[in-house]
Amino acid sequence: MGFSCGRKCGREFQRRVKVYINGCGSKRAGDSTTSSESVDGIIGFGQANSSMISQLAQNGAVKNKFAHCLDNVDGGGIFAIGEVVGPQMNKTKMIARQSHYKITLKEVHIGDTIVKLETSFFGSIDENAAIIDSGTTLAYLPTTIHEQVIQKITSGKSLEMEKIEGQFSCFKYDKNVDDEFPVIKFLFKDSLVLTVYPHDYLFRFRDDMRCIGWQDGGSKSTNEEEMILLGDLVLSNKLVIYDIENQTIGWTEYNCTSSVKVKNGNTEYSVGYHVVSSASSFTIGGILAFLFILYSFTSLFYIA
């Protein structure tokens, strides 16, 4: 996760946390070096003992839990370490001992169409698994599913597609996308549903142009697995809670410009909305910066 802390934040962090081991970066490249997109560093929030959240929990500073709520309108959002108090939400168990946050996927609905999931998409170990990764900006689907999604999105519409930045499929559109494009739902184990609206997956490039956020994750080849990788694009405007202690993930629709209550021990406090960085809004520039800055958020550290 890209972050900017500042002196006051740094002093408070040092006061609250006595023991913490972190690394030192010696080289920066790409958009992270520019004044408008620069950040102070990258934080890993994986499940391994070496990750920041694990060290904080081992030190007794916080519960081994964290949450985020990403606002894709103005950028920024809420990031909380510890136990979020409410709201109520469904949760599902993580697939055990995985290097990423993986959960069991049951079905994918594109509008009224149910996509058949084959075990061969995901390999014999994980079966129907999806990776939840806020370190990924967009969303990646196996080729066979991606083709169905694109077909449903574009079918019956006169859209003049053009490539932006050599990789994004975009078209001119100045109407309300929620009126004409399908809602896509991912149904997980334990009745957890991720609803992705057209205004989520059709991100705005200009006032009159939208780009498709669903990306082709490729076809399976020898010794490789196809996968569903769900990033910020589909996690936005939702409060997502990672409970490493109880090995569950859950989310609910939420106003990410508001605040959440967090409990650590006997202390309860409010964590509010912050502009994380100027790269947070879903413009092309912001997306490219996010791909570099946030790559390691939930996958930087692996399970030992």
Q: Is residue 70 part of a domain?
A: yes
Whole-number pLDDT of residue 163: 92
Q: Is residue 301 part of a domain?
A: no
State how many domains the chain has.
Answer: 1
Q: Report residue 49's pLDDT band, with 50, 70 and 90 as the boundaries.
A: confident
259-282 tens-digit pLDDT = 999 998 888 999 999 875 443 344
Cα distance between residue 187 and residue 106, in whole Å: 6
Q: Give every CB contact of residue 195 below 8 A, 6+ residues apart in sequence.
A: 183, 184, 185, 253
Q: Is residue 260 part of a domain?
A: yes
Whole-number pLDDT of residue 40: 62
Query: What is the CA 304 to chain-centroid distance, rounded?
Result: 23
Residue 289 has pLDDT above 60, yes or no: no
For the chain, percent of residues with pLDDT exceeding 90 = 48
Residue 95's domain comprises 2-293
Cα distance between residue 124 and residue 118, in whole Å: 11
Average pLDDT over residues 279-301: 37
In this structure, what CATH number is given to the domain that contains residue 48?
2.40.70.10
Whole-number pLDDT of residue 36: 55
Residue 188 has pLDDT above 70, yes or no: yes
Q: Is residue 130 part of a domain?
A: yes
Instruction: Output 235-239 pairs: Cβ under 8 A, ≥24 positions apart.
Output: 235/68, 235/70, 235/132, 235/134, 236/70, 236/71, 236/72, 236/200, 236/282, 237/69, 237/70, 237/71, 237/72, 237/200, 238/69, 238/70, 238/194, 239/67, 239/68, 239/69, 239/78, 239/84, 239/87, 239/89
Q: Is residue 120 part of a domain?
A: yes
Whole-number pLDDT of residue 280: 38
pTM, to two decimals = 0.79
131-182 tens-digit pLDDT = 999 888 899 999 989 999 999 999 999 999 999 888 899 999 989 999 999 9
Q: Report residue 22's pLDDT band, with 50, 70 and 90 as the boundaries.
A: low
Q: Is residue 299 part of a domain?
A: no
Q: Is residue 190 part of a domain?
A: yes
Q: Is residue 302 part of a domain?
A: no
